[in-house]
């Protein structure tokens, strides 16, 4: 196979040089060119089309979002967004994912050998995931406000109470838009949901807020000790593992430190294993689009514990990696297109 040709677009010469050195350490990746802003990048693209673009979101002359939109309108190329760990950067990056970017990476910093090693795995993995990602038109979704946004409907489900069934969802590359489609299809009284989406810290805060604006259910970034409730989804915070726990009839989450599992923190395998242990047949596990194998073994553990298990099908995945690994293990009871997952989860929880 020919090496993947990468174009790096960032206004910082130090970041361009550091990223180029990190990516060049992988024999499957080749640095095609670097550019200090989108105008220079456009000239490079006219000379040669890269396989993947690594794009900063905050640059002079033209911001990364505007450049991304033009790329997707004129000639779609897989784009990995490179962003700093700031609240503003997280909000902008989420918009970039809605506009068609495939992955998020955080800007590398000079530091310890361990940080550089982890950055190498993260950056190279993101490039390879983007290169094989299926690009698709992502419809723009705006919040649909009803009377529910002011006052909850007169139903006992509006009261705080413990759920009996728990849905556990895991996703990676392409998962932000896939999760949005699933969660916006759920009614306000859906069973409690726990989610692991591979994202850096701070980005999960912005992502949960965005989902909360769009969904009938409540969506929040999980905090240690949060109770699992009907009508609420808890999203694992970036750089922290999230586990399901149980005390009597009450389900709650534990958010903790720990080593990366399957190269990820949070890890889907960690969430699914905790679900198998503490919920068993009361759990519903769903493994969605993503690169790698995180969640495959965990989904099998859920199935062996009596839980209903599902995997997203190849046709609707941006990257058919994680679900494919689960299917090969025989971990999925059902293989479903993205549009059928929400109803399948509700049916399994009845």
Residues annotated as catalytic (active site), given as ranges: 172, 198, 294
Tokens of 322: 């994680």
Coil, helix or strand at residue 262:
coil
Residue that the structure tokens 């970036």 belong to: 238
For every residue of 35-81, DSSP letters joined together read ESSHHHHHHHHHH---SEEEEESS-SSS-HHHHHHHHHHHS---EEE
Q: Among residues 213, 212, 169, which one has the least CA distance to residue 191?
A: 169
Tally: H helices and E strands in the chain: 11, 14
Q: Residue 23: which H helix or E strand, with range? A: helix 13-24
Distance, in Å, from the CA atom of 201 to the CA atom of 236, rounded to the nearest integer, reads: 10
The residues facing 24 across adjacent strands are none
Residue whose tokens read 């190849």: 314
């Amino acid at each position: 196979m020919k090496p993947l040709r990468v174009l790096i677009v960032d206004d910082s010469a130090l970041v361009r040089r550091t990223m180029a050195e990190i990516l060049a350490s992988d024999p499957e990746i080749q640095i095609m060119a670097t550019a200090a802003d989108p105008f220079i990048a456009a000239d490079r693209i006219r000379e040669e089309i890269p396989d993947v673009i690594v794009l900063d979101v905050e640059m002079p002359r033209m911001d990364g979002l505007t450049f991304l939109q033009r790329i997707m309108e004129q000639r779609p190329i897989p784009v990995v967004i490179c962003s700093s760990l700031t609240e503003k950067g997280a909000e902008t990056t989420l918009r970039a994912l809605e506009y068609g970017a495939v992955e998020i990476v955080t800007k590398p910093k000079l530091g310890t050998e361990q940080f550089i090693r982890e950055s190498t795995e993260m950056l190279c993995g993101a490039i390879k995931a983007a290169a094989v990602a299926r690009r698709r038109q992502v419809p723009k979704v705006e919040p649909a406000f009803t009377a529910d946004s002011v006052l909850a409907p007169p139903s006992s489900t509006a009261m705080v109470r413990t759920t009996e069934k728990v849905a556990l969802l895991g996703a990676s590359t392409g998962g932000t838009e896939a999760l949005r489609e699933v969660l916006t299809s759920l009614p306000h009284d859906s069973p409690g949901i726990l989610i692991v989406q591979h994202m850096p810290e701070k980005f999960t805060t912005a992502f949960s807020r965005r989902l909360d604006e769009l969904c009938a259910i409540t969506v929040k970034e999980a905090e240690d000790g949060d109770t699992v409730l009907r009508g609420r989804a808890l999203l694992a915070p970036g750089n922290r593992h999230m586990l399901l726990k149980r005390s009597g009839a009450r389900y709650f989450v534990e958010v903790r430190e720990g080593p990366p599992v399957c190269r990820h923190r949070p890890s889907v395998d960690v969430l699914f294993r905790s679900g198998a242990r503490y919920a068993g047949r009361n759990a519903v596990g769903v493994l969605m689009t993503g690169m790698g194998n995180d969640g495959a073994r965990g989904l099998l553990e859920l199935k062996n514990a009596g839980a209903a298990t599902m995997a997203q099908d190849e046709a609707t995945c941006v990257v058919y990696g994680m679900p494919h690994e689960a299917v090969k293990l025989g971990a999925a009871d059902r293989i479903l297109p993205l549009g059928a997952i929400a109803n399948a989860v509700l049916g399994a929880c009845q």
